Amino acid sequence: MWRAHRHTMLSILASFGVCTILFFHFIMEVDWTIGMDAYWLFILILPFITNYIAGVVYGSISALSGLLLSIVLFDTPLIGYLQPYGQNMVDWFPIIYVVVMIAAAIMEYELTSYQIEKKISDEKIAYYQAERTKRLREQLSIYESNELTIRKYKHDIRHFNRVLSSFIDDGEYEKASNYLREFDSMLEQVTTVSFCDNKVVNELLTIYAARCQKLGFKLRAKAAVPERFAMEEVELTSLLANALENALESQDKAPKEKRFISVDINYDGRKLRLQTKNYCPEKITFNDEGMPISTKIVQSGIGTQQIRAIAQKYSGIASFKLEGDVFVVKAVMTCL
């Protein structure tokens, strides 16, 4: 901030200093064969230079030096010290200079706005690319884990079959049944990697299913979303990821026996519907707009705000309710 302040102050002092030098040059010049038009043209360029260097506000303040110079020399008795100028020059230059100042300010404002928007856009793109890379890495890790598990079971399947066959041959059907249930529970370690045709939904459900398994419970997921439909991938990602992330954070605080998350997302060719439910270990309060008030030490509520903003963008609604000890998120959007 100190450097920026110094930067703008220097531009103001420099512009006023240049105009002061020109002032003394104009009134002390005695050789009227020297054309001074080039100097006045330079003064017209001054607003563009100062706005570029110091921005619209400080640049306009700096450019006032040129306006003051033209008023002092054209609208006071000091005009007698100048070379003879046409009446149009005398009458209109200060007005023309004001117009040029306004034009320079508008151009710099538009340029600055474009640069700010571009920076924000680039940051968003970089953020979503980083999130995409993160999801791909997590999904790759799940694939690798599944492959190792499947290889292990493929190697041991003959031994399992022999043990099961011996139980059956000996008439120990109860042991055979328990053995099958145990084997079935071991297969739960293989994470489902295909929930629906949509890659974004599939990736997110796969990742959060693996995270739920690490917390000791299974994600209850039902998805029917086509590969392509009328919603931006980044918004679909934000919608589903925010809902699941909030749900998963609350499960980390819940007793193991009560942890659960269910998600139902489907698209019927016109509307996208999302519903998530999860056990809520804390008492949630809501504001006047029906938005949950964050229970974190540093309150944010950004996730729920994003869900509602995306729903509203697609002419839809989003609601958040606490039904007993179950937190319910619902969102319906029109995606044509």
Cβ atoms of 318 and 307 within 8 Å: the answer is yes
**DSSP type of residue 263:** E
The percentage of the chain sitting over the pLDDT mark of 90, rounded to a whole number, equals 31
Give the chain's mean pLDDT: 83
What is the DSSP secondary-structure string of 128-164? HHHHHHHHHHHHHHHHHHHHHHHHHHHHHHHHHHHHH
Residue 283 buriedness (CB in 10 A; 0-12 / 13-18 / 19+): exposed
Query: How much is the pLDDT for 276?
Result: 96
Q: What's the pLDDT band for 1 if we cut at 50, 70, 90?
A: very low
Q: What's the pLDDT band for 326 if we cut at 50, 70, 90?
A: very high
Q: What's the pLDDT band for 149 if we cut at 50, 70, 90?
A: low
Query: How much is the pLDDT for 297?
Result: 47
Which H or E element spans position 77?
A: none
Check pLDDT > 60 for residue 75: yes
Helix (H, G, I), strand (E, B) or coil at 293: coil
Mean pLDDT of 219-232: 91
Mean pLDDT of 219-229: 91
Question: 145 is written with which tokens?
Answer: 């884990």
Residue 76 buriedness (CB in 10 A; 0-12 / 13-18 / 19+): exposed
Cross-strand partners of 292:
286
Q: What's the pLDDT band for 164 if we cut at 50, 70, 90?
A: confident
The percentage of the chain sitting over the pLDDT mark of 70, rounded to a whole number, equals 83
Mean pLDDT of 253-279: 94
- List the one residue out of 181, 261, 148 whose CA is nearest residue 215: 261
Query: How much is the pLDDT for 185?
Result: 65
Mean pLDDT of 305-318: 92
Check pLDDT > 90 for residue 318: yes
Full-model pTM: 0.54
Helix orientation angle between 173-187 and 87-169, rounded to the nearest 10 degrees:
160
Query: How much is the pLDDT for 298?
Result: 41
Check pLDDT > 70 for residue 154: no
